[in-house]
Amino acid sequence: MAALDAATPDTGAGQADPQAFVRRIDGRSHLDLLVRGATCAGCIARIESGMLADERVEQARLNLSTGRLALVWRGEPSAARGFVTTLGEIGYPATPYEPENEHDPQKEDERRLLRALAVAGFAMANVMLLSISVWSGGLEMSAAMQSLMHRISALIVLPAVAYAGQPFFRSAWSVLRHRHVNMDVPISLAVLLACGLSIYETFIGHGETYYDAAVMLLFFLLIGRFLDMRLRARASQAARGLAAMQAATANRLRSDGAIEAVPAREVRAGDHLVLAAGDRVPVDAVIIEGEGALDGSLVSGETAPVEARPGVQVFSGMLNLDGKLVVRASADRDNSLLAEITRMVEAGEQSRSRFVRLADQAARLYVPLVHSLALATLVGWFVLAGEPHTAVINAIAVLIITCPCALGLAVPAVQVVASGRLFKAGVLVKSGDALERMAKIDTVIVDKTGTLTEGRPRLVEPETLPEGMLELAARLARTSRHPLSRAIADAAGMGPAAKDVRETPGGGLECVEDGRRLRFGAARWLGIDAISDPHSEAWLVVDEGDPVRFRFADRLRSDAAETIEGLRQRGCHIELLSGDRPGPVGAIAAELGIGHWSAELKPQEKIARIEALKAEGRTVLMIGDGINDAPALAAANASVSLASAAEISQAAADFVLQGNRLANSLVALDISRSARRRVLENFALAAGYNMIAIPLAVLGMVTPLIAAIAMSGSSILVTLNALRLARR
């Protein structure tokens, strides 16, 4: 089923100029368009192939649920107008994608469908009254009276069909004008044939009309299309709600001190913005004036308010809870954190998995196959029955019942629901085929520092240190941002810092205080023999006295043991690969019961291990967070990163865990496996429907009305099966 409204998009003054919404990234132009009328896999294929036919276009991905078409092309932003025109010519009007815009074309499409549905329902009810009179009258009703009834039915049905059938007729005509076909072509053909045959029978033939069947066919098709639209809107609610959290306007502070309200998309890096209490942060920024608190749950997953003070980085989507803040924008809206999260959520619905490609190929074969089948049915019944009436009715039933809408929805519906469910659980999906790959993993590779552990060393047993040594070390440590220095400062608490401290990179800290030379740092720098154990270490030397050893440990994440045990229970082989020293790595592996571990690995060595496992026939999941993990994340069959990870690692991963809860990787695995089962079930439902319905229609055992009910019911059944994923 294709475009709901094939009219060419308005190019008047009311139409937003798409060029104004183009983003330039790495020398390429990026534009998000809201495309109207796409309803199935066939529409996706038509739109994307139409865009990719232009040699400048490098990427064209349509999100079926939100109608968002992501275009990337080489060349100037001015090409955007031509792309919008091309979409209109192939039957899919498009406008710049603005999530905060109150003017929602999908709601307009829903209202249009409801009006068409109401007209078809009204006509159906009245025509059925007339038809019942004709059926029940039998021989007692004169031929003249029956003819009158049929003529009245024609007066009711024909205008109703002309109006209620527009979603199908316009779509079919728009593609036929460009010498293409889509799923609405045989539907329109079936409706028109039913009406045409009825008109012939009314004025020329024997009076056996099918006005009731034609209008009831439209009624049930419209019900199916409307419910499908509503169900898909419900399934994509998470992505739409997230996009709507982007502030529509911003209060920009001008150089003369005046405040002006501007659209958030006009904010540029360096602009000064004013945030009142209750305002959402429109773009990523840094606070330069004011104090208060922010709701940062969108970014961190934590419900506790974030302290707002000068120098603090804030992100788009955060809510200013109290106080007035002045911030300096560090990015425009399209490059802000919330925009990136939104794209990551929607990307989960756009990528092409093996299942999607299979469904697309089947949908493209549909039109020529069904037309051939309907023609064979027409000819066969004409030869067998010797008259055209039965042959035409059976051919109409074949045209209707073979619509592969259920097949086209089988995979996208599941991906949409699974992505929304994962988002609610705190997991961002970056590609739809990641769900398919994740479902098949049997081996998990985990990093240590920052993944299994918190990535923040803590001082071990400070109470065993000689008296006064902790405070002396802390006086030095408070001047440094080194992780071990920060651990010392945290353990000692608030206090004064030493003055004139000199820091040697890779060595340590030293100063002279009260006539004493204080040095705190690495054993090698101090000329001390290091002790090999699972702990990291640093040493404090006062003058030429005996060195004092400080031991540090990176604490396990609170849910690390739960995660490893959960993966083991799900049948996964687990290995720990780390670049850290053997002592700490072995200790963590022993604590978590991981039998296979390796330490002091370089990035290429991690990749080599992953490739070796894949060569053994294993499907590998990599969980990591560091910059050095990015190559391994990309090499694995599927990959997971944490929200606290380096940006390059998040970019390489398929799933990003918000709130830094490692146990959410179990949620991702469970939902991915459930999604795979739902896809297979949907394929089975679609195949079973066609195996039963098509032979019945060809054999003349299905009327056009029953065919319409069966076709709409199969699409709804597939979507409802996908929505089972949304249940907790």
Predicted confidence at residue 12, as pLDDT, reads 40
Predicted confidence at residue 8, as pLDDT, reads 35
Q: Would the pLDDT of 238 be above 50?
A: no
Contact 415, 703 (CB under 8 A): no
User: Greater confidence, 673 or 200?
Assistant: 673
Point out the least confidently predicted range of 292-301, 404-413, 566-575.
Answer: 292-301
**DSSP output for 484-550:** HHHHHHHHH-S----SS-EEETTTEEEEEETTEEEEEE-HHHHT-PPP-SSSEEEEEEETTS--EEE
Average pLDDT estimate for 384-409? 76
**Unique residue bearing structure tokens 């051919």:** 395
The one catalytic residue in 447, 580, 629, 654 is 447
CA–CA distance, 638 with 669 (Å, rounded to integer) = 10
Spatial neighbors of 193 by CB under 8 A, at least 6 apart, are: 392, 395, 396, 399
| Planar angle of CA 380, 383, 385, nearest 5 degrees | 100
* Among the listed residues 412, 406, 289, the one whose alpha carbon sits nearest the alpha carbon of residue 355: 412
Contact 539, 521 (CB under 8 A): yes
Average pLDDT estimate for 486-513? 85
Contact 660, 640 (CB under 8 A): no
Q: Would the pLDDT of 5 be above 50?
A: no
Q: Would the pLDDT of 207 be above 80?
A: no
pLDDT digits (tens, 9 = 90+) for 55-70: 899 888 887 666 778 8
Contact 636, 603 (CB under 8 A): no
Average pLDDT estimate for 470-499? 87
The pLDDT-based confidence of 297 (bands split at 50, 70, 90) is: low
Predicted confidence at residue 458, as pLDDT, reads 85
Average pLDDT estimate for 95-112? 68
User: Greater confidence, 194 or 655?
Assistant: 655
pLDDT digits (tens, 9 = 90+) for 675-697: 889 888 888 888 888 788 889 88
Average pLDDT estimate for 163-182? 80
Point out the least confidently predicted range of 168-172, 292-296, 311-315.
Answer: 292-296
The pLDDT-based confidence of 619 (bands split at 50, 70, 90) is: very high
Point out the least confidently predicted range of 485-494, 590-599, 681-690.
Answer: 681-690
The pLDDT-based confidence of 615 (bands split at 50, 70, 90) is: very high
pLDDT digits (tens, 9 = 90+) for 532-582: 666 778 899 998 888 999 988 878 888 899 999 999 999 999 999 987 778
Point out the least confidently predicted range of 353-362, 490-499, 534-543, 586-595.
Answer: 353-362
Average pLDDT estimate for 182-204? 80
Is 500 among the catalytic positions? no
Predicted confidence at residue 232, as pLDDT, reads 56
Predicted confidence at residue 341, as pLDDT, reads 60
Return mean pLDDT, the chain.
79
Task: Kindly give the pairing relationship between strand 94-96 and strand 28-35.
Answer: antiparallel
* Among the listed residues 93, 91, 41, the one whose alpha carbon sits nearest the alpha carbon of residue 62: 41
Predicted confidence at residue 326, as pLDDT, reads 92
Q: Would the pLDDT of 121 be above 70?
A: yes
Point out the least confidently predicted range of 337-346, 348-357, 381-390, 625-634.
Answer: 348-357
**pTM exceeds 0.85, yes or no:** no
* Among the listed residues 709, 705, 698, the one whose alpha carbon sits nearest the alpha carbon of residue 214: 705
Point out the least confidently predicted range of 147-161, 385-399, 584-598, 602-616.
Answer: 385-399
Q: Would the pLDDT of 631 be above 70?
A: yes
